[in-house]
Amino acid sequence: MKTIEIEWRAGRERFEAHGHSGVPIAVDAPHFDPASAPAGPNPSELLLVAAGACAAWDVVEILRKQRASIDAIDVHVEGDQDEDPPWTFRAIRVHFTVLGRDLDAERVAKAVRVSESTYCSVISTVRGAADVTVTSEVVSS
pLDDT at 32: 61
Measuring CA to CA, which residue among 93, 91, 104 is closest to residue 133? 93
With cut-offs at 50, 70 and 90, classify the pLDDT of residue 35: confident
Distances from the Cα of 46 to the Cαs of 54, 136, 141, in angstroms?
12, 21, 30
Three-class SS of residue 20? coil
pTM: 0.90
On the question of pLDDT at 72 being above 80, the answer is yes
pLDDT at 33: 66
Beta strands in the chain (DSSP E): 5-8, 14-18, 24-28, 69-81, 89-101, 131-140
Three-class SS of residue 21? coil
